[in-house]
Structure 1
């Protein structure tokens, strides 16, 4: 089968629909790709670049090309093409997130435990947010440090404050404190880590990828969608699992194996995340759009003066 004209960048699934995006993110957030060696990832990148150049190696099948693109999308940044650090990849969200979230849900009773696990979680989130930023807007080490400290402080203040406040509340309420802290921190961590996009705008293009300028309004829309996605990603496991554990711990057999409660919660969080990571990433299109009428006046006027009414929507990478 001739594959010289194969468009490897054409979405395998319709990205205009939630189900199409879900299948796409099931593919690129597959935690098994986190185990693939750097050598194999670089080979996949070379194959993707060869296909883009129209020089597919003889004997290459379409499935091999799809798999190479899966590895490429899972490990290389869409803006820079550079290989992302392992821990920051979305494909590492399941193993990394299940361990940290499971222990946050298990060790919520004492202030030192709350402080430690919230710090670990925010360190992990900061790396994920930096890795999946819109790389067209560079951020300085100082800004990264401020974002990290601010988000961590927010999470700790929320977690410790609520932990003390809920001492006399029903046990289940106390179990939900980690989620409240995670949600609050996400509302700070992501905008702070991507503050350059809000301050200077992100690159926006027309439907064909031609650059039109930079928009702060587009950045705010993209970052807001990412915040909603991240909170949605964590919500089911961190809200439903405490209810499950609260009921299970009433049984005598669970009271005899308290040392297994932590590992059990880690595994159950993993089950949630296997589905919730791709589902949350699929809530909004990766290639986000915005009506020209909703852009800043100066950018909107510039586009209208050059193109008239021929361009009604602009497009940009919202990040993950």
Structure 2
């Protein structure tokens, strides 16, 4: 993110009003814009230089070029480390990276082997995205990363296989209802494992706290309470994001298979399924990401007592601090 570029002057957060939900939707649509994947190394370097000039007072105008540079950094660079996020795990690649694994999980009649394969593939991608975009106050060790990955995969596969075994045995349920419930099994697996995944991958933040900053971007201290908010809200946003993507396409596909797609080959049905997932994902992602601000303020009296009474560089008592929620 642009905020990772050093300098004494604060950056405007966005060209949109992030105190409103729709302002955050427009902002999230920018950082998840897939065209940002075509950003070249030179464009990235030029963007960093322009933002650096602004933060150090060499440029004062907030121009369209400034907003473009900020968009490039916000969609490409990690806000804590300043490092470029690996391409498949950037938010601008979120829909495209998830498209294939989501389509795989939502394929009817997978069987045990297919269910295991796609659930493992999905959790592998989730772990990589969580790790790449998490608050970096406390990086995970390799051992912790492997343990958390194993927990997420076990949870996902356990729920999927368990429900696949239970649904066909339900009594007093019509065949049509059983079919619909079967199509929604991947949703239940993804949601439950997604929550476990986020908390497992970011457990060190809750144990040790995350960095909180004053309005000028100077670190005030660490807060476990802020970490709970950050991780909890991220887990909730994953559920909100997964719900339309994992529920709407399979239900529409069921309807289409009784009409337009009836008798059509597997290839056509797969293309329609991919199209439904892609369209739903592109529409849903900004709305889900915008539920909670990525950078948000919190009154200092709601945090640990040892943060109270601290002063900023001007000697004023800090009454509000800010933290990066992560994505």
Question: Would you say same fold, with TM above 0.5?
Answer: yes
Cα separation, 1, equivalents of 2:256 and 2:125: 29
1:211 positional shift: 2.4
1:52 positional shift: 2.4
Q: Confirm whether residue 313 of structure 1 aligns to residue 304 of structure 2.
A: no
What secondary structure, in the 3-state scheme, does the structure 2 residue paired with 1:319 have? coil
Q: Which residue of 2 aligns with 1:162?
A: 163
Cα separation, 2, equivalents of 1:149 and 1:45: 37
Contact 1:103 1:265 in 2 (8 A): no
1:138-217 matched pairs, under 5 angstroms: 138-169=139-170, 170-217=178-225
Cα separation, 1, equivalents of 2:295 and 2:62: 28
Cα separation, 1, equivalents of 2:224 and 2:62: 43
Cα separation, 1, equivalents of 2:308 and 2:64: 43
Contact 2:195 2:238 in 1 (8 A): no
Q: Confirm whether residue 303 of structure 1 aligns to residue 307 of structure 2.
A: yes
Cα separation, 2, equivalents of 1:50 and 1:210: 19
Contact 1:291 1:314 in 2 (8 A): yes
What secondary structure, in the 3-state scheme, does the structure 2 residue paired with 1:87 have? helix
1:35 positional shift: 2.6
Instruction: Tell me how large the CA RMSD over aligned residues is.
Output: 2.4
Name segments (4+ residues, structure 1) moved above 4 Å.
none
Contact 1:108 1:175 in 2 (8 A): no
Instruction: Calculate the TM-score normalised by the size of structure 1.
Output: 0.89
Q: Confirm whether residue 24 of structure 1 aligns to residue 31 of structure 2.
A: no
Q: Cα–Cα, structure 1 residues 7 and 137, in superposed 2: closer, same or farther, change >3 Å?
A: closer
Match 1:277 to one of 277, 285, 291: 285
Q: Which residue of 2 aligns with 1:233?
A: 241
1:91 positional shift: 0.7
Contact 1:203 1:211 in 2 (8 A): yes
Q: Cα–Cα, structure 1 residues 107 and 118, in superposed 2: closer, same or farther, change >3 Å?
A: farther
Cα separation, 1, equivalents of 2:119 and 2:199: 18
Instruction: Calculate the TM-score normalised by the size of structure 2.
Output: 0.87
